[in-house]
């Protein structure tokens, strides 16, 4: 009999996406391919530290005026302001009228967690909805933040491999007023399917009529299309429509700053006099959670966004990443079509951003892992960045075999 104080603790389930990375790393098969975790890879299948990031780190290292003092609880003002402006655009009325502010956070996840506590504990919100499916961490973040229920609205149509807009609008219509609705600003994770501008307008209309509160998750601005403005279109539309909303931004993907944990909460209100009170509550949440954020990543982003030359260099980097992804999408589709792989593969290029929701089922995913050492989430989501010119033929032929051998 164990004498440990912890003997009653039961093991929790593994985190699929990180377990997959671990399994891939310990796999010794030469042609193994990791299409799991959402991180950018170069054409050589290696992680990429953006050249602009290397450059700014060198500038920072040489600057002896910089120190390691605590940042304010709400973060580096030069970063939070620039991140907010990047999201809402320089013409934003909310910024010009002093109704929009930014709060530095521990990447997108940390932003969501802080915002979750603000909704659940400060505002007493009880209903929160995300798309079905959504990023698998959303649920855990909001339950940990104090929500006791977690609901979803229809999103993915498995037959059309596209957005189920009728289902989504019907579910939003049925949601109780004041529900918090998580919306992926662009490059929906995991499906890669975004509403069209017309569909966003329909979504906004229902949300306005039903008094639903938008909470945007923006993890891919610029990374999705290579164009910062195009990827922020939905958020800016909601602002123009007069919504109050929050947006959780991550700089993991578009700056390649995955482990620097750098994010921002943009808060847009209709009444600027409410902002100091809101910020004071968020200050207390952060103070009680991690006290204040780290500086390194925030300074890199602030320098890149606030200097026209650095900004242009960074935009070049996001275009490189978005361009390679588009090329790999086209390469995969073309090969599957050439092989005559059963099914329609048009969705691979219609989808946007890091991921493709392939439509492969669990047995097919397992078959690919066992027989070909190709790793992907059980949902059939693949990280397009894991594809390269060198492995495209292999991946396409393996998918072809899985689709033919394992029943759909």
Annotated catalytic residues are 135, 217, 253
Residue number, 189 or 295, with CB nearest to ligand LMR: 189
Residue number, 212 or 385, with CB nearest to ligand LMR: 385
Rounded Cα gap, residues 304 and 311, in angstroms? 5
Question: Do strands 245-250 and 262-268 pair parallel, antiparallel, or not at all (unpaired)?
Answer: antiparallel
- Smallest distance, ligand LMR to C-beta of residue 142, A: 15
Rounded Cα gap, residues 368 and 220, in angstroms? 28
Residue number, 38 or 380, with CB nearest to ligand LMR: 38
- Smallest distance, ligand LMR to C-beta of residue 155, A: 16
Give the interface with ligand LMR as residue ranges (CB under 6 A).
17, 37-38, 135, 137, 189
- Smallest distance, ligand LMR to C-beta of residue 188, A: 11
Q: Look up residue 130 and give its two tokens.
A: 């995300």
Question: Do strands 374-375 and 180-184 pair parallel, antiparallel, or not at all (unpaired)?
Answer: unpaired
Residue number, 175 or 318, with CB nearest to ligand LMR: 318
- Smallest distance, ligand LMR to C-beta of residue 216, A: 16
Among all residues, whose Cβ is closest to ligand LMR? 38
Neighbours of 320 (CB within 10 A): 16
Q: Is 4 helix (H, G, I), strand (E, B) or coil?
A: coil
Instruction: Write down the number of H helices and E strands in the chain.
Output: 16, 13
Residue number, 109 or 179, with CB nearest to ligand LMR: 109
Q: Look up residue 214 and give its two tokens.
A: 């938008």
- Smallest distance, ligand LMR to C-beta of residue 224, A: 13
**What phi and psi values does residue 102 have, to the nearest 5 degrees?**
-120, 150
- Smallest distance, ligand LMR to C-beta of residue 137, A: 6
Neighbours of 243 (CB within 10 A): 18
The answer to whether the CB of 369 falls within 8 A of the CB of 171 is no
Output the DSSP codes for 183-220.
EESSS-TTT-----HHHHHHHHHHHHHTTPEEEEEES-
Residue number, 137 or 306, with CB nearest to ligand LMR: 137
Q: Classify 261 in phi/psi space as left (phi over 0), alpha (psi -120 to 50) or beta.
A: left
Rounded (5°) CA angle 78-225-137: 70
Rounded Cα gap, residues 19 and 12, in angstroms? 13
The DSSP bridge partners found for residue 213 are 180
- Smallest distance, ligand LMR to C-beta of residue 140, A: 11
Counted residue by residue, the chain has a size of: 408
Residue number, 285 or 354, with CB nearest to ligand LMR: 354
Q: Is 32 helix (H, G, I), strand (E, B) or coil?
A: coil
Rounded Cα gap, residues 305 and 79, in angstroms? 8
């Amino acid at each position: 009999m164990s004498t440990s104080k912890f003997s009653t603790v039961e093991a929790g389930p593994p985190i699929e996406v990180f377990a997959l990375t671990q399994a891939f790393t310990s796999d010794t098969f030469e042609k193994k391919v990791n299409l799991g975790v959402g991180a950018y890879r170069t054409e050589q299948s290696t992680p990429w530290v953006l050249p602009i990031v290397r450059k700014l780190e060198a500038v920072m290292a040489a600057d002896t005026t910089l120190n390691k003092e605590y940042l304010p609880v709400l973060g580096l003002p030069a970063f939070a302001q620039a991140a907010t402006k990047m999201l809402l655009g320089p013409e934003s009325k909310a910024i010009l009228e002093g109704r929009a502010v930014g709060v530095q956070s521990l990447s997108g996840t940390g932003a969501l967690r802080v915002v979750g506590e603000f909704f659940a504990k400060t505002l007493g919100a009880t209903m929160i909805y995300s798309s079905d499916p959504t990023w698998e961490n959303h649920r855990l973040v909001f339950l940990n933040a104090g929500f006791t229920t977690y609901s979803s609205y229809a999103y993915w149509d498995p037959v059309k491999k596209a957005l189920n807009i009728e289902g989504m609008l019907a579910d939003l219509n049925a949601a109780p007023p004041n529900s918090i609705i998580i919306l992926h600003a662009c490059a929906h994770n995991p499906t890669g399917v975004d509403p069209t501008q017309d569909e966003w307008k329909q979504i906004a209309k229902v949300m306005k009529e039903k008094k639903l509160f938008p909470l945007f998750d923006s993890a891919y601005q610029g990374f999705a299309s290579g164009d910062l403005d195009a990827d922020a279109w939905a958020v800016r539309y909601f602002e123009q429509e007069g919504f109050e909303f929050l947006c959780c931004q991550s700089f993991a993907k578009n700056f390649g700053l995955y482990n620097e944990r750098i994010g921002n909460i943009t808060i847009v209100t209709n009444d600027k006099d409410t902002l100091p009170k809101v910020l004071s509550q968020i200050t207390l949440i952060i103070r009680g959670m991690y006290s204040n954020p780290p500086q390194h990543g925030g300074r890199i982003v602030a320098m890149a966004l606030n200097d026209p030359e650095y900004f242009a260099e960074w935009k070049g980097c996001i275009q490189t990443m978005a361009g390679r992804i588009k090329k790999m999408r086209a390469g995969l589709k073309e090969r599957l079509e050439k092989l005559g792989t059963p099914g329609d593969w048009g969705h691979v290029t219609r989808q946007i951003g890091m991921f493709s929701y392939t439509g492969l089922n669990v047995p097919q995913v397992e078959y690919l892992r066992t027989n070909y050492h190709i790793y992907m989430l059980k949902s059939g989501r693949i990280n397009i960045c894991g594809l390269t010119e060198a492995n495209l033929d292999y991946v396409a032929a393996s998918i072809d075999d899985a689709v033919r051998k394992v029943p759909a």
